[in-house]
Amino acid sequence: MAPFRSSIITSSPEETIVAGEWLASRLRPGSVVALRGGLGVGKTYFTKGIARGLGVQETITSPTYTMIAEYQGTLPLYHIDAYRLGGDADFSSIGGEEVIGGSGVSVIEWSERIPHAIPEHAVIVEITLLEQDRRMITLRNTPE
C-alpha cells in the first residue's frame, strides 16, 4: 500500500461503517489496522465496516471479554481488543502475535496499549469525537 494520510468526518454510525468499508477494499492478507480513540468514539462501528467490506456475514461486537474474535469473509478477520491487556507481554501471552500479519486482516482496538506489537506497516486509524455526534477519522500508514 502506498504511503497515505487522510481524514474524513462522519456524522452517523452508518457513515463510520462506510468509512471502514472503504478501507477494507484496500486491505490485503497480512494487513493490520491499529485503531485508537477513547471510549465510545466508534472503533467497533469502523470495524463493522471493515468486516462488511471483507464479506463477513456474522454480527461484529466488541471483543472486550474474548480479546480476539475471528470471523470468516473473503479473508479471515481477527478483531482484537487490547483494552484489558497490561501491555505487550499480555498480548503475547494470549497468542496475539500469532494472528498479526498472517493470512488475514487484523483490526486492533486500543492498539496504543500494545505499541511494540503493532508492525510498522500497520494502518493507524485515530477516531476523535467532534460536536453533535460527528467524528474525525484520520488514517495513515506511515510512522510519525
**Total domain count, the chain:** 1
Per-residue pLDDT reduced to its tens digit, 58-69: 988 876 667 888
Write the CB contacts of 23 (distance below 8 Å, at least 6 apart in sequence): 33, 49, 50, 53, 123, 125, 139
Q: What CATH number does residue 49 fall under? A: 3.40.50.300
Provide the residue range defining the domain that includes 105.
5-140
Q: Is a pLDDT exceeding 70 seen at residue 96?
A: yes
pTM for the model stands at 0.91
Structure confidence at residue 25 as a pLDDT band (50, 70, 90): very high
